[in-house]
């Protein structure tokens, strides 16, 4: 009997069972890791019509199908593709839905490599690129042009954590005939389902929370029914499929993502609230805090928060930021996040168009799975060093 897993079940029950049926693979709990390029056909007619499920390694295998089916279940999407990195997950749909002469609106707070792609490759291809204030909400309507084809969102904002009014932006974009994309890596589909709020294409760096162990690069792109055919056609045309071992590692990480995210959320919120009381901290940029300007939007649309946020040091500049970072013993200094270990980076704001004034340098913290009291002690060392 085939198991029926639906969204009425608990999150962890769903994560433990979605994506594949062991009965399809002789009862083995995990899907097979299929290394494939050539796929054989039983006869010439089948080969000519490509009338079998699998035709070539780049077009899907049981391994990639298991993960993409699981993500579709979580996203409520018509289809998902797995690609080699989170950055490819951003660039693939932009290439799919933009052409020379088109206009794209991108939130000014976007992940820096997304901005770099837009300012180099997209402009080189003749695409007009503009950036908008992430807090403009329904005001996006006044920024749309007759040739606007895509509005690119990310909520909360990368590094600075502004909240976007995704339903309002989606309504304005659709009224003008544009589609909406969202980088939803921070929340994952466990805490926010973009397609339920008007988004057409949902993007994730599965490197982060789905992978969860800082040892794999992967991205996923999911689309609604209207956008799926074009996304899939671009995916197969470019041949940018993810490798089976990476796909399997993310599928394995997905099984425990609910448990890990709950721990990340609890620890991060405790530390964020504690940091609001600490000398040397001017502001804590975490949308689940009541003090955050976008808290009402977060509370309205999201069902949880992940483990990454930023703090603003109370005065100083690069010297103080470096002193803070260099004093840390548990937090690692490194990019990415979503793994089991805590990380810290000095936030670069030099590429922002919409300028905001902060009291001092921004430090982004990824709260890992370590004990909270140990992390507090480590942060205290950093704050003391920053005060000098």
Question: What is the three-state SS of 147-165?
Answer: CEEEEEEECCCCCCCCCCC
H or E segment at 364?
strand 362-366
Domains 11-255 and 257-387 belong to one CATH topology:
no
Q: CA 124, CA 113: separation in Å to the nearest integer?
A: 16
Nearest CA-CA partner of 154 in 175, 122, 125, 180: 180
Residues constituting the chain: 388
- Among 182, 178, 206, 203, which residue's Cα sits nearest to residue 336? 206
Annotate 108-161 with DSSP letters as a single string.
TT--HHHHHHIIIIIHHTT-EEEEE-TT-GGGGGGG--TTEEEEEEESSPTTT-
- Find how far residue 102's CA is from the centre of its chain: 25
CATH code 3.30.1490.390 for 257-387: no
Please report the DSSP string for 15-52 in residue order: HHHTT--GGGGTT-SSPP----SB---SSHHHHHHT-S
Instruction: Classify domain 11-255 by CATH architecture.
Output: 3-Layer(aba) Sandwich (3.40)
Give the start-to-end residue ranges of the domains of the chain: 11-255, 257-387
User: Residue 34 and residue 23: Cα distance in Å, rounded?
Assistant: 17
Q: Which residues contact 269 (CB under 8 A, 6 or more apart)?
A: 286, 288, 289, 305
- Locate tokens 């982004």: which residue? 364
**In the 3-class helix/strand/coil scheme, how is 56-82 assigned residue by residue?**
EHHHCCHHHHHHHHHHHHHHCCCEEEE
* 246 contact partners, CB below 8 Å, separation of at least 6: 84, 216, 217, 218
**One pLDDT digit (tens) per residue for the chain, 388 residues:** 346 778 889 999 999 999 888 888 888 888 899 999 999 999 999 999 988 999 999 999 999 999 999 999 999 999 999 999 999 999 999 999 999 999 999 999 999 999 999 999 999 999 999 999 999 999 999 999 999 999 999 999 999 999 999 999 999 999 999 999 999 999 999 999 999 999 999 999 999 999 999 999 999 999 999 999 999 999 999 999 999 999 999 999 999 999 999 999 999 999 999 999 999 999 999 999 999 999 999 999 999 999 999 999 999 999 999 999 999 999 999 999 999 999 999 999 988 988 888 999 999 999 999 999 999 999 999 999 999 8
* Cβ contact 67:48 at 8 Å: no
């Amino acid at each position: 009997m085939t198991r029926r897993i639906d969204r009425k079940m608990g999150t962890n029950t769903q994560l433990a069972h979605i994506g594949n049926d062991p009965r399809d693979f002789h009862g083995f709990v995990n899907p097979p890791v299929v290394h494939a390029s050539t796929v054989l056909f039983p006869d010439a007619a089948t080969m000519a019509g490509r009338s079998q499920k699998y035709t070539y390694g780049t077009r899907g295998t049981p391994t990639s199908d298991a993960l993409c089916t699981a993500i579709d279940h979580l996203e409520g999407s018509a289809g998902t593709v797995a690609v080699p990195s989170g950055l490819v997950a951003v660039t693939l749909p932009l290439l799919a839905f933009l052409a020379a002469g088109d206009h794209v609106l991108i939130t000014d707070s976007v992940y820096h490599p997304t901005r770099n792609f837009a300012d180099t490759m997209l402009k080189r291809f003749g695409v007009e690129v503009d950036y908008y204030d992430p807090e403009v909400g329904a005001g996006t309507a006044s920024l749309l042009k007759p040739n606007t084809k895509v509005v690119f969102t990310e909520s909360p904002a990368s590094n600075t954590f502004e909240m976007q009014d995704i339903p309002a932006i989606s309504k304005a974009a659709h009224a003008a005939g544009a589609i909406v994309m969202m980088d939803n890596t921070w929340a994952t589909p466990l805490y926010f389902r973009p397609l339920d709020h008007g988004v057409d294409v949902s993007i994730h760096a599965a490197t982060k929370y789905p992978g969860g162990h800082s040892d794999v690069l992967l991205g996923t792109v999911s689309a609604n029914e209207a956008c799926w055919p074009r996304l899939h056609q671009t995916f197969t045309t470019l041949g940018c499929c993810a490798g089976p071992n990476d796909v399997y590692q993310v599928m394995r990480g997905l099984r425990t993502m609910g448990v890990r995210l709950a721990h990340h959320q609890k620890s991060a919120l405790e530390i964020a609230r504690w940091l609001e009381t600490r000398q040397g901290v001017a502001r804590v940029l975490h949308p689940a805090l009541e003090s955050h300007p976008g808290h009402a939007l977060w509370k309205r649309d999201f069902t949880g928060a992940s483990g990454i946020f930023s703090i603003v040091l109370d005065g100083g500049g690069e010297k103080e930021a470096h002193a803070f970072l260099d004093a840390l013993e548990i937090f690692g200094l490194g990019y990415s996040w979503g793994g089991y270990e805590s990380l810290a980076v000095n936030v670069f704001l030099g590429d922002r168009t919409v300028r905001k004034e902060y009291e001092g340098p921004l430090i982004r913290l990824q709260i890992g799975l370590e004990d909270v009291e140990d992390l507090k002690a480590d942060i205290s060392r950093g704050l003391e060093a920053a005060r000098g």
